[in-house]
């Protein structure tokens, strides 16, 4: 249990808690660690909340929101943003799935990927900036929970796009239903306790629709999914959460 949670932490953040890394772990251990992704997301959310409170004491709201975004990107090592840019480049490439995957594997970022990344970061900044003050703490806390949980739901039952596999293949091949159920339990409890059960259930439904919808589209285009696609799912889910959650909370009141 402790090893699984540490693996999840090391995979999703740049803060080391021990010397060993996910590279030295068995495929099943890596997949099993996904059940802890929402819990890691909660810790990340807690760091964002603490940073938001600290920055807000000294700085105006727009600067505070920008710094909160910077903390998130630095804390996660830009892993998901990199995946998003690569996925956008792959989607924008005309050609066979193999040609699209080749573009995604290329270390350089294309014009389309760069543009998409800038727009997505802008949307995330706007979403953080305009979070309603009464719900701001709870929404910042739960945003990473949603993104990390959506990746778990999207991994289960999906296949890798590359015949030779990749880093994500260990997760895709070895994840079990119980891993998804545990992750869903954690995410459901965190969301429902923080935002209320009605909003929590609706947001979980949103995560399923977004995650599985992106899996369906990317499977058609690429012949499966990759780690980059999972990173994209995290980004898209969290951004939609920032805009949808305040509306859902308003509707839940009535």
Give residue-wise pLDDT tens across range 89-141. 999 988 888 999 999 888 788 899 999 999 999 999 999 999 999 999 999 99
Confidence of residue 254 (pLDDT cuts 50, 70, 90): low
**Is the Cβ–Cβ distance between 190 and 139 less than 8 Å?**
no
Residue 38's pLDDT is 97
In angstroms, the Cα distances linking 76 to 44, 97, 139, 196, 219 are 9, 29, 18, 28, 26
The token duo for 143 is 């945003």
The token duo for 169 is 């293949």
**Is the Cβ–Cβ distance between 150 and 233 less than 8 Å?**
yes
Beta bridge partners of 253: none
Q: What is the DSSP string of 30-90?
A: HHHGGGGHHHHHHHHHHHHHHHHHHHHHHS-HHHHHHHHHHHHHHHTTTHHHHHHHHHHHH
**pLDDT tens-digit map of 175-185:** 999 999 999 99
Beta bridge partners of 160: 225
The token duo for 42 is 């909660």
- Alpha-carbon distance of 85 to 185, in angstroms, equals 31
| C-alpha of 188 from chain center | 16
Lowest-pLDDT range, 51-65, 89-103, 190-204? 89-103
The token duo for 125 is 């900044």
Tell me the Cα Rg of the chain.
18
């Amino acid at each position: 249990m402790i090893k699984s949670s540490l693996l999840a932490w090391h995979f999703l953040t740049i803060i080391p808690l021990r010397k060993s890394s996910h590279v030295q772990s068995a495929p099943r251990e890596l997949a099993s660690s996904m059940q802890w992704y929402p819990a890691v997301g909660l810790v990340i959310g807690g760091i964002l909340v603490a940073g938001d409170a600290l920055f807000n004491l000294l700085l105006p709201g727009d600067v505070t929101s920008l710094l909160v975004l910077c903390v998130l990107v630095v804390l996660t090592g830009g892993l998901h943003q990199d995946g998003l840019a690569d996925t956008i480049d792959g989607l924008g490439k005309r050609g066979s799935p193999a040609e699209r995957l080749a573009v995604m594997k290329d270390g350089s970022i294309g014009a389309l990927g760069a543009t998409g990344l800038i727009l997505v970061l802008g949307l995330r900044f706007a979403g953080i900036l305009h979070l309603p003050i009464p719900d701001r703490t709870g929404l910042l806390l739960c945003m990473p929970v949603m993104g990390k949980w959506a990746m778990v739901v999207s991994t289960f039952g999906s296949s890798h796009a590359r015949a030779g596999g990749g880093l994500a293949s260990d997760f895709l091949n070895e994840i079990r239903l119980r891993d998804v159920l545990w992750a869903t339990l954690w995410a459901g409890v965190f969301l429902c306790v923080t935002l209320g059960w009605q909003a929590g259930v609706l947001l979980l439904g949103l995560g399923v629709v977004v995650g599985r919808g992106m899996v369906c589209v990317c499977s058609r285009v690429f012949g499966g999914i990759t780690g980059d696609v999972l990173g994209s799912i995290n980004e898209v889910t969290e951004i939609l959460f920032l805009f949808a959650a305040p509306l859902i909370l308003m509707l839940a009141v009535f």
